[in-house]
């Protein structure tokens, strides 16, 4: 029986979309906020002949959006969620045998296709709000395209978004039909309130809310960057709004009930103020909202591969996000959008929010790709290929965890880890804990860490674990069931008679984040050598040792977000391999020389050390090189010849490139093993460094076959017409020759290097060696401004020759003979 759908702006593209999917298997849909694409398009596909009895999968970026979309579609069918339309997410499923449209979160879909590469029983996959470019969405689309191309040419794939980089997506999908819907159903009046640079965003937002509440009708949706700003705005508004206005926060850390409460219509006779993060940008309608106030800010995670840390940065929203937010005001009636920035600043906003794949921890992605049989991401269709450095760090981590072999292939342990559906570090923890009889506690801890707010927000994970285990709420019960499923069929050892603490378990996940107190209460150094801090008022700040599960901020000022207390005895018992002992040479920063010691350590943390005799040979030089990396290349005293050699080679690198090596400080520090250590054998202090060794080392970086070209392309000196040699200076942007002008008399061509292709920059000086002219065209200078220079110089230096035609005069370094 055909389905009768309401009329929305997107309705006009439903017939051409049906035609496109009848003729082909891919389509791209671009429809602005409020057009109805999320609910109408999946429902319109139910009656398509190609669907048969297959299911339609609709991907949503967030759980709130998935529940809201399923609820809306079910209501249009006059059914309950779980009948024709259901949803599936990590902690909550509402599906049945009759379900034909499944709304799933993007991470769930990635697991679905990894477990069933043919997507059996599925006729279509719709990627909604794809412009958000989450890592799971990018990966899910890449896998779906691979599945469709190799196994399922009958599978329909549709990429949808309100604000979409249509051209790039269409190219990725081999240019399928692109369908663009008309604009929103109701007009929106966009206004701007320029926020002074010194004013906190919370103060600007409170002022805008109060003005809008006084002068306009309807409920208000205010976008703020994060939970902290939402809390501060709510505090500032206490007592300043009438009791008939309900203040409702909306962010990912809330329970399902609290989120649902925020998007429900305000009771009759009341207004609602929803204070939301970006979670409210897409796929939900908050009934009654006709005013949107946009802070213009969002909080994005930024992953640093070198530290393994993800920090949250507050940045300006993209134009796409700003449009999405504005569209929330025109969903059900004409609305108003107030933007807290100057109208002229909109053009300077980035077009789209940066895709997660460019700034995320890629370890789960690499593990999943290995399961798919791919070691090189270029084999899959990603819009943006993952960057090399985080990709390599992810591979290194997975090899260290035993999930991949050296060729990047999945190991038996890796298969078990991937099957758990946890971040690799936590999966490794569960496996190790299960072998010790602590699998249940470890699985609960892993779910606790991956679900924001579960067990409270305490920094102490032992405390959060205790609260979680006692919590009998709906979300906690669902999380415990998930933890049970994780290890249901998992091989485990005999249950341990004594419980394990969170810290003891976390040692297997974060051995590099074992931390010792250094420098006072709340200050720690981790095994990876980085520092981390915790507020002095926190109970954990008194602990001598921690294992840190989460931290944020830049490497130099990392702030601990969650951790657990441990003792050295815990490391000795649960992770003895983390403690190493041996003899080592090291550079003493205070003494500025190389020393040796017998040391017991956990990574960068020294537990015990005993002095040894001063090292010799290559070990000493390697330690000195480590000191050089810490202090910097400025500590080396290059001879004039060596410094000029470095500048000459550096010039050729900048102007020609390979094979001429880079000679800047950073590049040379990275290659100390090649040019410093082999030429300074046995040296253990800076004062003993061989100057000739530095020269020879720099030369060694130039491939032998091109060394003979160095003098031709970048000579050390220029021979003047007088026969005298003058050094060529390469330290600037271009080679320069400083020379007295009289020495160039008779020269009709401009001096060059690089095989005659590059003119030297001439700095012409007076007899007193003071600059008088700079030129890259000597013949032009002779024919042009020389007459003015000559007139001035004759008066200043009458005893020196200043011919009218210097191009045909004899060069000289002498004064005129007396009487001439």
Reported as a single tens digit per residue, the pLDDT across 476-493 is 998 999 999 988 877 655
The pLDDT of residue 164 = 65
The residue among 285, 287, 282, 241 whose CA lies nearest residue 267 is: 287
CA–CA separation, 802 and 231 (whole Å) = 80
Q: Which residues make beta-bridge pairs with 362?
A: none
Q: Report, as an integer, the average pLDDT of 311-318.
A: 86
Mean per-residue pLDDT of the chain: 90
For CA atoms 697, 702, 706, 711, give the dihedral sign. negative
Domain regions of the chain by residue span: 9-180, 188-357, 422-574, 633-712, 715-808
Fold match, 9-180 / 188-357: yes
How many Cα atoms occupy the beta-carbon half-sphere of 37 within 13 Å? 31
Per the CB < 8 A criterion, the answer to whether 394 and 363 are in contact is yes
pLDDT digits (tens, 9 = 90+) for 403-453: 999 999 999 999 999 989 899 999 999 999 998 889 999 999 999 999 888
Q: Quick check: 192 and 341 in contact, CB under 8 A?
A: yes
3-state secondary structure at position 350: coil
Helix (H) or strand (E) segment spanning residue 546: strand 545-552
HSE toward the beta carbon, residue 315, CA cutoff 13 A: 16
> How many CA within 13 A on the CB side of residue 116?
9
Residue 86 has pLDDT above 90, yes or no: yes
Mean of pLDDT values over 513-528: 92
Q: Which tokens in the block code for residue 146?
A: 């691979």
Q: What tokens appear for 773 in the block?
A: 């002219």
Q: What angle do CA 58, 63, 64 make, to 5 degrees?
A: 105
What pLDDT is stored for residue 43 in this prediction? 96
The phi, psi pair for 60, rounded to 5°, reads -125, 145
Q: How confident is the model at residue 27 (pLDDT cuts 50, 70, 90)?
A: very high
d(CA 517, CA 675) in angstroms, rounded, equals 38
The average pLDDT across 211-240 equals 93
Confidence band (pLDDT; 50, 70, 90) for 545? very high
Q: How confident is the model at residue 5, as a pLDDT?
A: 86
Query: What pLDDT does 291 receive?
Result: 94
Predicted pLDDT of residue 184: 62
At the fourth CATH level, the homologous superfamily of domain 9-180 is: P-loop containing nucleotide triphosphate hydrolases (3.40.50.300)
Tens digit of each residue's pLDDT (9 = 90 or more) over 634-691: 888 899 999 999 999 999 898 888 899 999 998 999 999 999 999 998 888 888 889 9
Q: Are 1 and 27 in contact (CB under 8 A)?
A: no
CA distance 312 to 349: 19
What residue has token string 């203040």? 247
**CATH, domain range 188-357:** 3.40.50.300
Distance CA(750)–CA(742), nearest Å, equals: 15
453 vs 184: CA distance, rounded Å:
36
Of the pLDDT bands very low, low, confident and very high (cuts 50, 70, 90), residue 457 is: confident
Q: What is the torsional sign of CA 591, 595, 599, 602?
A: positive
pLDDT band with cut points at 50, 70 and 90 for residue 744: very high
Helices and strands (H and E) in the chain: how many: 28, 31
Average pLDDT over residues 131-149: 94
Separation CA 27–CA 24 (nearest Å): 8
- pLDDT of 347 above 90: no
Per-residue pLDDT at 492: 52
Rounded average pLDDT over 595-619: 91
559 pLDDT above the threshold of 60 = yes
3-state secondary structure string across 257-268: HHHHHHHCCCCC
Query: Is 194's pLDDT higher than 70?
Result: yes
Cα four-point dihedral sign 434, 435, 437, 442? negative
Q: Is the pLDDT of residue 145 over 80?
A: yes
pLDDT band with cut points at 50, 70 and 90 for residue 294: very high
Token pair of 185 as six digits: 């159903």
DSSP state of 402: T
Confidence of residue 183 (pLDDT cuts 50, 70, 90): low
d(CA 583, CA 53): 69
pLDDT above 80: residue 331: no
Task: Quote the pLDDT of residue 405.
Answer: 93
44-58, 280-294, 624-638: range with highest mean pLDDT: 44-58
Contact between residue 416 and residue 428 where contact means Cβ atoms under 8 Å apart: no
With 90 as the cut, is the pLDDT of residue 580 above it? yes
């Amino acid at each position: 029986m055909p389905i009768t759908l309401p009329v929305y702006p997107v309705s006009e593209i439903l017939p051409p979309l049906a035609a496109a999917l009848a003729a082909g298997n891919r389509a791209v849909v671009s429809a602005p906020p409020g057009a109805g694409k999320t609910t109408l398009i999946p429902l319109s596909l139910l009656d398509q002949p190609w669907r048969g009895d297959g299911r339609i999968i609709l991907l949503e970026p967030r759980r709130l959006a998935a529940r809201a979309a399923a609820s809306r579609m079910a209501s249009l069918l006059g059914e309950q969620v779980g009948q024709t339309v259901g949803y599936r997410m990590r902690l909550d499923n509402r599906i049945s045998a009759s379900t034909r449209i499944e709304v799933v979160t993007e991470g769930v879909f990635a697991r679905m296709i990894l477990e069933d590469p043919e997507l059996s029983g599925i006729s279509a996959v719709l990627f909604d709000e794809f412009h958000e470019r989450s890592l799971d969405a990018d990966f899910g689309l890449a896998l779906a395209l691979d599945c469709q191309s190799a196994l399922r040419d009958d599978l329909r794939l549709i990429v949808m978004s309100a604000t979409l980089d249509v051209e790039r997506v269409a190219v990725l999908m081999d240019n399928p039909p692109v369908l663009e819907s008309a604009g929103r159903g109701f007009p929106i009046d966009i206004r701007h309130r320029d926020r002074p640079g010194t004013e906190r965003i919370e103060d600007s937002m409170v002022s805008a809310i109060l003005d809008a509440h006084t002068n306009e009708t309807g409920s208000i949706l205010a976008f703020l960057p994060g939970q902290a700003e939402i809390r501060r705005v709510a505090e500032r508004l206490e007592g300043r709004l009438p009791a008939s206005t309900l203040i409702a926060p909306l962010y990912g850390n809330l329970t399902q009930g609290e989120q649902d409460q925020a998007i429900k219509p305000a009771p009759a006779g009341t207004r609602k103020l929803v204070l939301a993060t970006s979670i409210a940008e897409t796929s939900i309608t908050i009934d009654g909202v006709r005013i949107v106030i946009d802070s213009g800010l969002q909080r994005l995670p930024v992953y640093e591969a070198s530290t393994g840390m993800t920090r949250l940065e507050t940045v300006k929203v993209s134009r796409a996000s700003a449009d999405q937010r504005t569209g929330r005001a025109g969903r059900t009636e004409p609305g108003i959008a107030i933007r807290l920035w100057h109208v002229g600043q909109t053009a300077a906003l980035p077009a789209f929010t940066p895709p997660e794949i460019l700034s995320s921890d890629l370890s789960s992605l690499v593990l999943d790709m290995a399961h798919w049989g791919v070691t090189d991401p270029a084999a899959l269709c990603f819009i943006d290929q993952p960057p090399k450095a985080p990709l390599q760090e992810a591979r290194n981590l997975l090899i260290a965890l035993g999930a991949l072999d050296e060729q990047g292939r999945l190991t038996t342990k890796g298969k078990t880890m991937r099957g758990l559906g946890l971040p690799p570090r936590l999966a490794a923890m569960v496996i190790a804990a299960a072998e010790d009889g602590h699998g249940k506690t470890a699985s609960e801890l892993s779910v606790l860490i991956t679900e924001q707010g579960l067990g409270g927000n305490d920094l102490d994970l032992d405390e959060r674990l205790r609260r979680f285990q006692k919590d009998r709420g709906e979300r906690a019960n669902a999380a415990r069931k998930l933890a049970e499923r994780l290890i249901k069929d998992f091989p485990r050892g005999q249950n341990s008679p004594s419980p394990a603490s969170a810290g003891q378990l976390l040692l297997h996940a974060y051995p590099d984040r074992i931390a010792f107190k250094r420098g006072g209460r709340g200050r720690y150094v981790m095994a990876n050598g980085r520092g981390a801090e915790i507020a002095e008022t926190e109970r954990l700040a008194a602990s001598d040792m921690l294992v840190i599960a989460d931290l944020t901020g830049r490497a130099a000022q990392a702030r601990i977000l969650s951790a657990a207390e441990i003792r050295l005895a815990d490391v000795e018992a649960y992770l003895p391999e983390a403690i190493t002992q041996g003899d080592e040479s090291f550079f003493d920063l205070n003494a500025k020389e190389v020393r040796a010691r017998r040391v017991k350590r956990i990574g960068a943390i020294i537990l015990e050390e005993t002095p040894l005799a001063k090292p010799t040979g290559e070990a000493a030089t390697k330690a000195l090189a480590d000191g050089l990396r810490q202090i910097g290349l400025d500590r080396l005293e290059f001879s004039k010849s060596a410094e000029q050699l470095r500048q000459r080679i550096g010039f050729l690198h900048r102007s020609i490139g390979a094979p001429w090596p880079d000679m800047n400080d950073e590049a040379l520090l990275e290659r100390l093993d090649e040019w410093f250590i082999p030429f300074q054998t046995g040296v253990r202090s800076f004062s003993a460094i061989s100057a000739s060794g530095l020269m020879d080392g720099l030369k060694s970086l130039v491939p032998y076959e091109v060394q003979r070209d160095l003098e031709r392309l970048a000579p050390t000196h220029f021979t003047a017409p007088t026969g005298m040699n003058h050094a060529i200076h390469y330290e600037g942007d271009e080679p320069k020759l400083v020379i007295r002008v009289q020495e160039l008399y008779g020269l009709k061509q401009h001096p060059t290097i690089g095989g005659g292709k590059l003119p030297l920059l001439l700095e012409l000086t007076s007899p007193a060696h003071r600059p008088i002219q700079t030129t890259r065209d000597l013949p032009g200078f002779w024919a042009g401004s020389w007459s003015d220079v000559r007139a001035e110089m004759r008066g200043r230096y009458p005893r020196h020759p200043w011919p009218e035609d210097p191009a045909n005069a004899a060069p000289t370094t002498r004064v005129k003979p007396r009487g001439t």
